[in-house]
Amino acid sequence: MKNFNINKLQSRDSNPTIWKSILSLSCLTVFVIMISSCDNFVEVDLPGSQLTANAIFEEKATANAAMTDIYSKIRDAGVLTGSASGLSHLLGNYCDELKFYGDPQNSTVAFYNNSLIVSNTEVKGLWDSSYNQIYAANAVIEGMDKSVHLPEVDKKQLKGEALFVRALLHFYLTNLFGDVPYLTSTDYEQNSIVKKKSVTMVYTSAKEDLEQAIQLLPENYVSEDRVRPNKYAAHALLARVDLYAGLWDEASNEASAVLNNTELYNNEGDLDKIFLKESTATIWQLAPGFSRGNTLESVTFNFTSGPPPLSALNDSFMSAFNDNDLRKTHWIKAVTDGTTTWYHPFKYKYSDTESSREYSIIFRLAEIYLIRAEARAQAGELIGAKEDLNKIRNKAGLGDTLAGTQSEILDAILHERQMELFTEFGHRFFDLKRVGKIQSVLSIAKSGWDTRDVLFPIPEVELNLNPNLKPQNSGY
Amino acid sequence: MNNISYYKDGKGLYCLFFIWLLISFSSVYARNTIRYSTAFTQQHQIQGTITDGINPIPGVTIAVKNKSGTSAISDYNGQYIISASATDTLLVSFIGFKTALVPIKGRKTVDIQLIYDTTTLKEVRVNAGYYSVKESERTGSIAKITSKDIENQPVTNVLATMQGRMAGVNIVQTTGVPGGGFDIQIRGQNSLRTNGNNPLYIIDGVPYSSDPIGTGINSAVLPTQPSPLNSINPDQIESIEVLKDADATSIYGSRGANGVVLVTTKKGKSGKTKFAARMSTGTGTVTRFMDLMNAQEYLNMRIEAFANDGISPIPDYAYDVNGTWDQNRNTDWQKELLGGTAVITDIQTSLSGGSEQTQFLLSGNFNKQTTVFPGDFNYKKGNLHLNVNHESENKKFRINTSIGYTIQNNNQPRLDLMREAVKISPNAPALYNTDGTLNWENNTFNNPLRNLEGKYSSKTNDLIANVMLSYNLTQDLQLKSSFGYTTLNNTETTANPSTRYNPAFGLGPEFSTLIASGADRKSWIIEPQLNWNKTIRQGKLNILLGSTFQSQQSNQLVQYASGFSSNSLIYNLSSASNIFTMVSEETEYKYQAFFARLNYNWQEKYILNLTGRRDGSSRFGPGNQFAVFGAVGGAWLFSKENIFKNNAFLSFGKLRASYGITGNDQIGDYQYLNTYASTGINYGGIVGLQPTRLFNPNFGWETNKKFEVALETGFFNDRVFLTAAWYNNHSSNQLTGIPLPGTTGFSTLQGNLDATVQNRGIELTLRTVNIQKNDFNWSTNINLTIARNKLLQFPDLESSTYSNQYIIGQSLSIQKVYHFTGVDPQTGIYTYEDVNGDGQLSGIEDKKTIKDFSPQYYGGLQNTLRYKHWQLDFLFQFVKQINYNESIYFGVPGSSGNQPKAVLNHWQQLGDIADYPIYTDGTNSTAVDAYYKYFESDGVISDASFVRLKNISLSYEIPLKDVQCKLFFEGQNLLTFTKYKGADPEFKSSGYLPPLRVLSAGVQFSF
């Protein structure tokens, strides 16, 4: 084999003429100058697949894309996703709505057994994706404040939407984890050492955001099918926050703001149409990712033969239904193998259709009626409360409520919320908590229930990375 | 001469290269000849055979003493023909043998027997990348293996061939599934980023990006994304050199921090046209299984668990024990799912030959491996390699071209069955119904074979081409340029047909999904260089100047399709009703550098070597793009001092040292930009844009300061050769993804952290020639590395996000864990030391036990024995380390899922002293909480040291006249000696198939 042996070449120093050495040296010099003279070689252009953050918010189309991507994220991951790792499914198992039948190694088991640990990955996922969505919302808010060329009307719309989303996610975080930070900036230096705020403070911040959102957002929807929030979506969330905060009059007023707009909203009479995408009882819903797609809820809950591959409705939940309740047959489906019968939520009926028929509804009119009913009952307005409650009952084929006293009415409302809002983003769990009945109800319904379980553990990794988030919720 | 004018007119040397490139393919050079003045009078044809006493030696150079320009090379039968006069003397030389001077003395036939000589090994030239040095004169730290070691191993990945054979190079296989990757660390972990510790790979002078190809989403069956290094065929490698210290790596500047791996492919040799072929067939099986419970033990455990939990009757969901499943079935699922035999077929052929001026090598080969999983899965690799070298008659101009093309086709299940195989209940039902369909046992059995319904497939085409042109302007000055081009094309698909779901979900093909990705990577490089030699007084000065222009472009498109009309159309994207683009990415990397080397060698006794490089890279933001790196190295060959001359004991002695700075730019492209990227996800008709990362434009190179001092000594005529090296490297200005709490919206931030990591170690290599006879040879190579990794400095570690991960003064591979204190005899629950005494286990404050996962020492012991026509070669690899033990695979004892047999020794009643806790199905939350803390304790960490017969090869050369024919047997991972109870001690990625034991046999012949 040949070696390109450079040393061979030097062996004979036969022609030591001066010009040759000079030639060699000058050659070296030219070489050095040439190769060190073009530093701009290493400059590269931005790839076609990326845009700078500043440019994004100067154009309507891209600014909108930044905002709608947050809705996609909310739909696909985190607290509000209809998938098995969203609250509808996890909290359904965590309290007394669902029973888990699936693979014992499935991550839902820890929720069903109320045996969450500080390193639970689903809990961490809920935490992380919520704050990731909040970051994106804050980026939109900051982008709108800085934007020069975007028309004012679009700035207002997008900033309003982002504020609404920020309030919404913090609302869920504080209800799951108790005291949590309320983040209003994208500054990671601040956000990585942020301290917790009390639940009351979180509600106060959320209210501020929502009040501002109400100012900014338009009356009408900017999109087809109500997939982007308008002013009334912010009212609806504000009504809920006020109810949770025990601000009865304000909750009642915010609810009325929505209910009074009968042009937009109509308490759909047919139970089978409530969850269709064109329902006028819908205040805000999430569009599917595909043109033929429907909701992730239908994939999570629906099954055709038993035993259930994932979860089915709990026996105690099924027995809580009045026999005449139309919801029991219209929103629930029975599956039997001949000897055993299982029931699954059937609010969302379609999986694959020629064109989408159902979207995942986050806010709908029934909840607003029930919010106002409860707020009114709490404020002593019993007649008004019963009126609102009966609207929901009648629609479900039930007669007017027989409840008379304030506490009877409140109990009736709690029961109605259970039957109306089941497997919708953990309403049942949050309701039991805020009315103070969670221990008494779940310690009977759930063998693994423990007092600590009213709050999820804050992911341990978070406490380690940011000790300002300490202490851990008690019991973990 | 004509050519002088080219550079006299000063138009620019680049032009020269391109002109040369053109004219080298034209006939211009044919005219440009120098007449040799040597008169070939009274010449005779001398012929003969060259042997080592037994076998013919091909490739031996036969020259005529004092007559340059006349030489021959022996052919495959050791035969040569040369013209010489009767009084001439033949000069016969070959690497590994003593050079022989044979006077012709009027003979026509001169048979020559060469004598093995270990001393000449130090005369071998070692490739240092931009230059080569004589082994004895190198100032840097370079480890080398050659095709002799590589050929003996039945492996397909180039890194596998290096395992256990090089000091300071730690290589760990990540999966036994073919097409997977290897982790490599040269002298420890320098960067805090776990993916920032890869060496730079250079193949025949062309940098080869080792960044993983494809997408992680697609290759779930592999623990890491497929490595492009699989494209390199070990059989075509002539040598692998690993550059370790500053002296050797500083000339690679910003890319040299983690060492450089130089791969040199085989070249054509002049001589008779030779055809060679090598065929082998082998089998691969899992090295060892875990010892798990049988059905009876398992069911007893489950029943006891429910009894402990006070749950009666046994709930509906516990199909394994509530009577739903047959209580009398007993299946060894590891054997069922991983117990297959992989069949390995390997065929290599080559054709080579040429004249003294032009040589060629054409080789092609094919390799196929099936898997140990049930079902029809395989990995195929085909490869073509062409090398052509040419030298002009006047020896001034040289061209050297290599082109390699590799096609890989990997078909694997979507998921590795390892994790499930150890956890399935031993009484789980049969896999198939009588009609051959998958058995879901009335929706109660999550059949593991559903994972085989999903298919992962990867196709990679890879071209590496390079041209090296050189021209000697004068005797002292050589102008040279290398041109390289690589292109890599990878397509991956993961098909997830609806048949992998339990039919109870009622999910049809509309729920089938396909992830399809395509990746392209193209790069070119031009490296013009000038090399100047000058003898100054009694020393030789060598100056090398060069520059690099490199550009790499990558594209990636990943699409997710769902809603198929039929499962048989699953690979047809147009039959999917929904397609969305998950990744659509293009990146460009540009790199420019100027480098220099100055070497002064005084009487081959004192050597000074200066190297430096100024680098610019597009990976950094404006103002941070350029940096300078450099090193100084020196060597003193003290055995050449008069005092040691003719010393019978010490035959060679060299002391060398080096110090310098290298850098690391492995951070990916565009990280300094604040950008939004398309998500491909549709919402209400708008495709989303998301923030790509947290924004930090101000980061620069990671720097690694390396210091090494080494002593190389040869004794008894170099029959005992010992090298001892001590190195101390400091890696600082750490470029890292700083972990952030989730509240920031992201998990990391890219930036420079003023932290320093020290890697210190001793590397010993000992080569001995134990017996050196004509028909019996025995030599031994031992290497040993004792390395320590230490975090020296870290600003505000305690308050940083790393506080849970690192400790100043400790290695980067530590884990802080609870100290496991056994099962509480009172409660049967796992207990841990409550360090701060607050009555609870509160994470970091109680995780005070430190476990270092970096190997304490490792090495290899290789023996080569040759007796007549037999050759035996075996390598023991040894590593002293700890690792997660088998417990890491299993859930709470008593819950659904099998357990190791050792778990039988569990707590049952008050006062029991047991290894394992009380059984529970999962409702005993104190027991469950305590059990999960086990995974964060030292209880799951065990000694995982091992000694392994990594490789053995036995061959027999059939003595034939015109054909060289060899029969061989090879084995990989044959024997393992370890106390470790988990899957495989070598192995770090639990949940994946461990490396296989391979046995292979075949035949090799050439004529």
Q: What angle do CA B865, B74, B1006 make, to 5 degrees?
A: 65
Helix (H, G, I), strand (E, B) or coil at B115: coil
Q: Which of B96, B137, B95, B143 is nearest to B239 (CA)?
A: B143
Q: Please tell me which of the candidates A4, A39, A76 has its beta carbon nearest to residue B626.
A: A39
Please provide the CATH number assigned to the domain covering B126-271: 2.170.130.10
Helix (H, G, I), strand (E, B) or coil at B500: helix
Task: Pick the residue of A42, A161, A314, A474 with the most B CBs within 10 A to test the interface with B by mutation.
Answer: A42
**Alpha-carbon span B637 to A355, nearest angstrom:** 82
> How far is the C-alpha of B74 from the C-alpha of B76, rounded, in Å?
7
Helix (H) or strand (E) holding B28: helix B28-31
Q: Provide the token pair at B34.
A: 């120098």
Q: Is residue A84, in this structure, part of any structural domain at all?
A: yes
Domain annotation covers residue A341: no
Q: Are strands B814-817 and B776-793 parallel, antiparallel or unpaired?
A: unpaired
Gap from B340 CA to chain A (nearest CA, Å): 26
Do A321 and A419 form a contact (C-beta atoms < 8 A)?
yes
The answer to whether the CB atoms of A1 and B895 lie below 8 A apart is: no
> A370, A416 in Cβ contact below 8 A?
yes
Which of B268, B272, B277 lies closest to B361, judged by CA? B268
Q: Around Cβ B524, how many Cβ atoms within 10 Å?
A: 16
Burial B482-496 (b: 16+ CB within 10 A, else e): bbbbbbbbbbbbbbb
Q: How far is A398 from chain B (nearest CA, A)?
A: 33
CA distance B949 to B928: 40
Q: How far apart are CA B774 and CA B905, in angstroms?
A: 60
A172 CB within 8 Å of a chain B CB: no
- CB B50 within 8 Å of CB B78: yes
**Hey, CA dihedral for A412, A416, A419, A425, is it positive or negative?**
negative
Residue (of B845, B784, B781) closest to B817 by Cα position: B845
Using a CB-CB cut-off of 8 Å, the residues of chain B touching A466 are: 741, 743, 801
Token output for A42: 């290493």
Nearest to B7 among A5, A27, A135 (CB): A27
Ramachandran class of A206: left when φ > 0, alpha when ψ lies in -120 to 50, beta otherwise: alpha
Mean pLDDT by 10 residues, chain B (1007 residues): 39 42 38 39 78 78 78 80 84 80 85 71 80 90 91 88 92 88 90 87 89 77 83 90 94 91 90 90 91 93 92 84 89 92 94 90 94 92 94 91 94 89 91 89 87 90 94 90 93 90 82 91 93 88 92 90 88 85 84 92 93 90 87 94 85 94 86 81 85 82 93 91 95 84 86 90 94 87 95 82 86 92 92 86 82 94 92 94 89 91 92 92 85 90 93 91 88 92 80 90 91
Q: How many whole angstroms separate alpha carbon B784 and alpha carbon B766?
A: 9
* A-B C-beta contacts closer than 8 Å: 331
The residue among B494, B543, B491, B553 whose CA lies nearest residue B522 is B553
The pTM (predicted TM-score) of the whole model is 0.78
State the smallest CA–CA distance between residue B639 and chain A in angstroms: 22
Please report which helix (H) or strand (E) contains residue B543, including its range: strand B539-564
Which residues make up the CATH 2.60.40.1120 domain(s) of chain B? 40-117
* Token pair of B293 as six digits: 């419970």
Give kind and range of the element (H or E) at residue B5. helix B4-8
CA distance B395 to B510: 69
Chain A partners within 8 Å of B563 (Cβ): 290, 292, 352
Q: Do B505 and A309 touch (CB under 8 A)?
A: yes
User: Do β-strands B539-564 and B271-286 pair in parallel, antiparallel, or remain unpaired?
Assistant: unpaired
Lookup: tokens for A307 = 């035993």
How far is the alpha carbon of B96 from chain A, nearest alpha carbon, in Å? 14
CB A391: neighbour CB atoms within 10 A? 17
Distance CA A101, CA A110 (A): 13
B475: chain A residues, CB-CB within 8 Å: 9-10, 12-15
Both tokens assigned to A134: 């909040």
What's the 3-state SS for chain A? CCCCCHHHHCCCCCCCCHHHHHHHHHHHHHHHHHHCCCHHHHCCCCCCCEEEHHHHCCCHHHHHHHHHHHHHHHHHCCCCCCCCCCHHHHHHHHCCCEEECCCCCCCHHHHHCCCCCCCCHHHHHHHHHHHHHHHHHHHHHHHHHHCCCCCHHHHHHHHHHHHHHHHHHHHHHHHHHCCECCCCCCCHHHHCCCCCECHHHHHHHHHHHHHHHHHHCCCCCCCHHHCCCCHHHHHHHHHHHHHHHCCHHHHHHHHHHHHCCCCCCCCCCCHHHCCCCCCCCEEEEECCCCCCECCHHHHHHCCCCCCCCCEEECHHHHHCCCCCCCHHHHCEEEEECCCCEEEEECCCCCCECCCCCCCEEEEEHHHHHHHHHHHHHHCCCHHHHHHHHHHHHHHCCCCCCCCCCHHHHHHHHHHHHHHHCCCCCCHHHHHHHHCCCHHHHHHHHCCCCCHHHHCCCCCHHHHHHCHHHCCCCCCC
For residue A255, tell me if it sits in a domain: yes
Q: Flag if B684 and A100 touch (Cβ within 8 Å).
A: no
Relative to beta strand B606-617, strand B626-636 is antiparallel
From B267, B744, B896, residue closest to A1, measured CB to CB: B267
Instruction: Look up residue B116 and give its two tokens.
Output: 């093995």
- Chosen for mutation from A12, A20, A22, A27 (greatest number of chain B CBs closer than 10 Å) is A27
- Per DSSP bridges, beta strands B200-203 and B260-265 are parallel
CB-CB neighbors (< 8 A) of A228 in chain B: 684
Residues 112-131 of B with CB under 8 A from A: 125, 131
Write the CATH number for A135: 1.25.40.390
Place of tokens 């803390």: B933
Q: Which of A49, A114, A337 sits opposite B585 (nearest CB)?
A: A49
Enumerate residues 6+ apart whose C-beta is below 8 A from A158. Answer: A63, A64, A67, A140, A144
Which among B478, B586, B749 has the least Cβ separation from residue A188? B749
Of A27, A103, A127, the CB nearest to B530: A27
Note whether B248 and B187 are within 8 A (CB).
no
Instruction: Please tell me the distance from the alpha carbon of residue B681 to that of residue B689, in angstroms, as a whole number.
Output: 9
A53 touches chain B (CB under 8 A): yes
CA distance B521 to chain A (A): 15
Question: Are A154 and A207 a contacting pair, CB within 8 Å?
Answer: no
Q: Using the Cα atoms of residue B440, residue B444, residue B449 and residue B451 in order, give the sign of their dihedral.
A: positive
Residue pair A132/B692 in contact (Cβ under 8 Å)? The answer is: no
* N- to C-terminal Cα separation, chain A: 71
Domain boundaries B40-117, corresponding CATH code: 2.60.40.1120
Rounded (5°) CA angle A305-A307-A311 = 100
Structural domain including A410 reads: 54-289+360-469
Do A46 and B670 count as a contact with CB atoms less than 8 A apart? yes
- Separation between Cα atoms, residue A20 and residue B477, nearest integer Å: 10
Shortest CA distance from B318: residue in chain A: A104
**Residues of B whose CB is below 8 A from A1:** 59, 267, 269
Q: What is the DSSP string of B382-407?
A: EEEEEEEEEE-TTS-EEEEEEEEEEE
Q: Are the beta carbons of B369 and B156 closer than 8 angstroms?
A: yes
- Cα-Cα-Cα-Cα torsion A213, A216, A217, A223, nearest 10 degrees, comes to -120
Read off the DSSP letter of residue B25: T
pLDDT band at A4 (very low <50, low <70, confident <90, very high): very low
The region, left, alpha or beta by phi > 0 then psi within -120 to 50, assigned to residue B414 is alpha
CA B905 to chain A, closest CA, distance in angstroms equals 24
Check B742 against A131: CB less than 8 A apart: yes
| Every domain range in chain B assigned CATH 2.170.130.10 | 126-271
Tell me, yes or no, if A355 comes closer than 8 A to chain B by beta carbon. Answer: no
Instruction: Give a yes or no: residue A319 inside a domain.
Output: no
Residue in chain B nearest A48 by alpha carbon? B586
Task: Find residues 340-359 of chain B whose CB sits inside 8 Å of chain A.
Answer: 359
Cβ of A341 under 8 Å from any chain B Cβ? no
Which strands, in side-by-side order, build the sheet including B79-84? B79-84, B44-51, B112-113
Helix or strand holding residue B967 (H, E): strand B964-978
How close A25 gets to chain B, by Cα (Å)? 9
Return the pLDDT at B509: 87
What is the share, in percent, of chain A residues with pLDDT greater than 70?
A: 91
- pLDDT of residue A20 exceeding 70, the answer is no
Q: Is the pLDDT of residue A258 over 90?
A: yes
Specify the 3-state DSSP secondary structure of B744. helix
For A461-476, what is each residue's pLDDT tens digit? 899 889 999 999 998 8
A279: nearest Cα among A214, A350, A366, A168: A366
Question: Number of folded domains in chain A?
Answer: 1
The answer for B 248-277 residues in CB contact with A (under 8 A) is 267, 269
Determine whether the interchain pair A181/B578 forms a contact, defined as Cβ–Cβ distance below 8 Å.
Answer: no
Q: What letters, b where the CB count within 10 A reaches 16 and e where it falls short, cover B81-112?
A: ebebeeebbbbbbbeebeebebebeeeeebeb
